[in-house]
Amino acid sequence: MAIAQQLTSKQITDKIPAMMTAAVYRGKDDVRLETVPVPQIGPGEILVKVHTCGICGTDLKKIATGSHSAPRIFGHETSGTVAVVGAGVRKFAAGDRVMVFHHIPCGRCYYCQHKTFAQCETYKKVGCTAGFEPSGGGFAEYVRVMDWIVEKGTVRIPDGVSFEQAAFVEPVNTCMKGIERLALEPGETVLVIGQGPIGIILSVLAKRAGTRVITSDLYEQRLTISKGFGLENAVNSSTADVVREARSQSEGRGVDAAILAVGSNSLIRTAMDAVRPGGRVLLFAQTQHGDAEFDPAAVCVDEKTLIGSYSASVDLQEDSVRFVMGQEMALEKLISHRFPLSQAVQALELAAHPQPDSMKIVIQPGIERQK
């Protein structure tokens, strides 16, 4: 049944096309711009006209490794406008500006009861699609949002807040979860290794928790951007010894906690060496399985703790929405490159091979439609 036949009384005045443009993953390192059907929606669902979708490192990992079956349409940091609402939808109407989470846990299973939401089977089931196997779908003109995401994972964007700002809600949530897992206390000293967009958000949140933050990165350009967010205590790791600097700022002990916001496994040892006995290390970007080398006695004898954090927490959804929509942080300033959907392949290529001056890269179907 066509969308227009289902929902004539609740669709926006713009005619919903039968076909749309999307960046389609076809296998390892293979994404193509294609014309695909606009997804149809059912009762309790909504169709969102995508304005902005951020490129996440997990999208890039899946494309680079070919870890997922093809075809798929990735993209999950999505904001846009409700185009059509399905039967029974009361919370939203056509024309509402929204952002959508793509994962929401069941709230009942063993893992949900233990607050390990990312391990919930329902959480792992993606609830947004632009077609094919549900995989987020934000790299397309329209995305179908399924009923449980409409009910619990769709957020209205307030007036005065841009689509770009709103697209950061999900990544901010993941960072808040990491900070919560690290259990920071006011007055502690924290080293954040890596000052890409996620590293900067983690640093700002650590500072917000009352800690003294030391940032480090190989690129002076990134440290300059980081300083624009009030993160002045910076170490250029291309010219300085980060471990030595961390110890010099902590009476020789080492910092209380370190956050590894880059994917290099070789830096796990650096983070472990930088923290004091009894300190903590958060692995935030180690999303690929593999081997890593570290000193086991640092965990046993020195009582240092390795902590992992992955994906978002539904318990922090309201906090992340308040932070982003309240504009506590000018997240739009993290965007260095904006690509129309017609240049999605180039956008993904740049994101996969970041330059010193490239930060958050977004794909914007909404911008292209306005031309």
> pLDDT (tens digit, 9 = 90+) per residue, 273-325?
999 999 999 999 998 888 998 899 999 999 999 999 999 999 999 999 999 99
Residues paired with residue 240 on neighbouring β-strands, in sequence order: none
Burial 269-284 (b: 16+ CB within 10 A, else e): ebbbbbbbeebbbbbb
105 pLDDT above the threshold of 60: yes
H helix runs in the chain, sequence order: 3-6, 57-65, 110-113, 121-124, 147-152, 163-166, 169-182, 197-208, 220-227, 242-248, 267-274, 296-300, 317-325, 344-352, 365-369
Cβ(134)–Cβ(26) under 8 Å?
A: no
**pTM of the model as a whole:** 0.94
Q: Is the pLDDT of residue 368 over 90?
A: no
Amino acid of residue 36: V
> What's the confidence (pLDDT) of residue 287?
87
- pLDDT tier at 370, thresholds 50, 70, 90: low
pLDDT cut 90: percent of the chain above it: 92
Is a pLDDT exceeding 60 seen at residue 65?
yes
Residue 3 gets which letter from DSSP? H
Task: Give me the phi and psi of 196, to 5 degrees please.
Answer: -75, -175
Total length of the chain: 371
Distance CA 183, CA 179 (A): 7
CA 343/CA 349 separation, integer angstroms: 10
Q: Assess whether pLDDT exceeds 50 at residue 13.
A: no
Rounded Cα distance between 130 and 48, Å, is 10
Backbone φ and ψ for 323, nearest 5 degrees, come out as -60, -45
pLDDT of residue 15: 84
Instruction: State the amino acid at position 26 in one-letter form.
Output: R
Residue 338 pLDDT: 98
Q: Please report the pLDDT score of residue 104 as a whole number.
A: 97
Residues 6+ apart with CB under 8 A from 110: none
Residue 94 has pLDDT above 90, yes or no: yes
What is the three-state SS of 248-314? Answer: HCCCCCCEEEEEECCCCCCHHHHHHHHEEEEEEEEECCCCCCCCCCCCHHHHHCCCCEEEECCCCCH
User: Does residue 86 carry a pLDDT above 70?
Assistant: yes
